[in-house]
Amino acid sequence: MSVPVQSFFHAPTNTWSHVVSDPSTRAAAIVDPVLDFDPASGRIWSSQAQLLLDHVRAEALDVHWILETHAHADHLSGADWLKSAIRKSSGVAPKIGIGRGITAVQRHFREVFGLGTNFPADGADFDRLFDDGDGVALGAFEIRAMATPGHTSDGISYLIDSAVFVGDTLFAPQAGTGRCDFPGADAATQYRSIRRLYALPDSTRVFLCHDYPPAGTPPTAETTIAAEKAGNIQLRGDTSEGDYVAFRRARDATLAVPRLLYPSLQVNMRAGRLPDADASGRIFLQLPLQVTLG
């Protein structure tokens, strides 16, 4: 029996979150949770993350880990909220994990947001920084970290039994692969990361972080390595590195900046923790301006 996975889609950001668990011990991990956010009003709320919490409680799961595949640029992470909520209900907080490359992301965006030395950029907001090949227990299963940078410098995938959680490295075959134009990103690096994933058994279940289906088509949460190699429209099993890099660079030059880039990074590089409140209890997110006035 393959490890059970329950997936939850957040339509406003086209994001998939997953709960993976060991039936024998009830140990569980949550992958890529989301907070709801309306940038026009500044309102942040937890309806989507509450769905994950409700599922965990209904199934009597013991959440050991909240795993981030990277510091997302298109949604706010629900990791910190879930960690606090689970601690309140069970008395034990799960650990938040991400790839060690998060420190490079923190260093870059510390400068973007003018945080200076007040923000140490050492990854300490997270409980665990995973290196390639690291393994930790999840009940009778093992979580094995696979470094998959390219889309971002901190990209990491998690292999659990016959399931791999790939973040934005791969999308569904008809949607292709993640963009490679963020700071620290690189198309050639992503090609090699995807080749590592393609070396997994063809039957490996691939759980996605996003899907962007055509209107009237349900979103895809899960595919397989075989399906990706056979039909990914941007990188099949026989696609050369040169062809992929040329395509990715040309494609990325046409893409708009993600709508939630600055709000997301300010929260996600802190493991989902919001900036500190001021003396009046107000919380602010910054918007760096690029002024090109004549």
- Domain of residue 54: give its range: 5-263
Two tokens, residue 183: 């700071």
240-289: per-residue pLDDT in tens?
Answer: 999 999 999 999 999 999 999 999 999 999 999 999 999 999 999 999 99
Q: Which helix (H) or strand (E) holds 77?
A: strand 76-77
Mean pLDDT of the chain, nearest integer:
97
Max Cα separation, the chain?
66
pLDDT of 276: 93
pLDDT of 214: 86
pLDDT of 270: 97
Other Cβ atoms within 10 Å of 292 Cβ, number: 5
Tell me the pLDDT band of 215, cut-offs 50, 70 and 90.
confident
Percent of the chain with pLDDT strictly greater than 90:
96
Phi, psi of 2 (to 5 degrees): -75, 155
Residue 1 has pLDDT above 70, yes or no: no
Q: What share of the chain is helix, strand, coil (3-state, %, to 5)?
A: 25, 25, 50
Percent of the chain with pLDDT strictly greater than 70:
100
Given a contact cutoff of 8 angstroms between Cβ atoms, the answer to whether 155 and 101 are in contact is yes
Who's near 115: CB < 8 A, 6+ residues apart? Answer: none
Angle between helices 261-268 and 102-112 (to 10 degrees): 120
Number of domains in the chain: 1
Sheet containing 128-130: order of strands = 5-10, 15-21, 27-31, 62-67, 95-99, 128-130
Please indicate, yes or no, if residue 68 is contained in any of the structural domains: yes
pLDDT of 65: 98
pLDDT of 294: 85
Residue 50 has pLDDT above 80, yes or no: yes
pLDDT of 118: 86
Please indicate, yes or no, if residue 289 is contained in any of the structural domains: no
Please indicate, yes or no, if residue 292 is contained in any of the structural domains: no
- DSSP line for 112-179: HTT-GGGS--SSTTSSEEEPTT-EEEETTEEEEEEE--SSSTT-EEEEETTEEE-TTSB--TTT-B--
The CATH number assigned to the domain holding 173 equals: 3.60.15.10
182-198: per-residue pLDDT in tens?
Answer: 999 999 999 999 999 99
Q: With the C-alpha atoms ordered 121, 79, 72, 205, is the resulting torsion angle positive or negative?
A: positive
127-155: per-residue pLDDT in tens?
Answer: 999 999 999 999 999 999 999 999 999 99
Given a contact cutoff of 8 angstroms between Cβ atoms, the answer to whether 71 and 41 are in contact is no
Residue 37 has pLDDT above 80, yes or no: yes
The pLDDT of 46-50, averaged and rounded, is 98
Helix (H/G/I), strand (E/B), else coil: 129: strand
Please indicate, yes or no, if residue 28 is contained in any of the structural domains: yes
Phi, psi of 221 (to 5 degrees): -95, -30
The pLDDT of 216-241, averaged and rounded, is 97
pLDDT of 31: 98
Chain centroid to CA 149: 12
15 forms beta bridges with 10, 210
Please indicate, yes or no, if residue 33 is contained in any of the structural domains: yes
The pLDDT of 33-52, averaged and rounded, is 98
Two tokens, residue 279: 């003396």
> What's the Rg (C-alpha) of the chain?
19
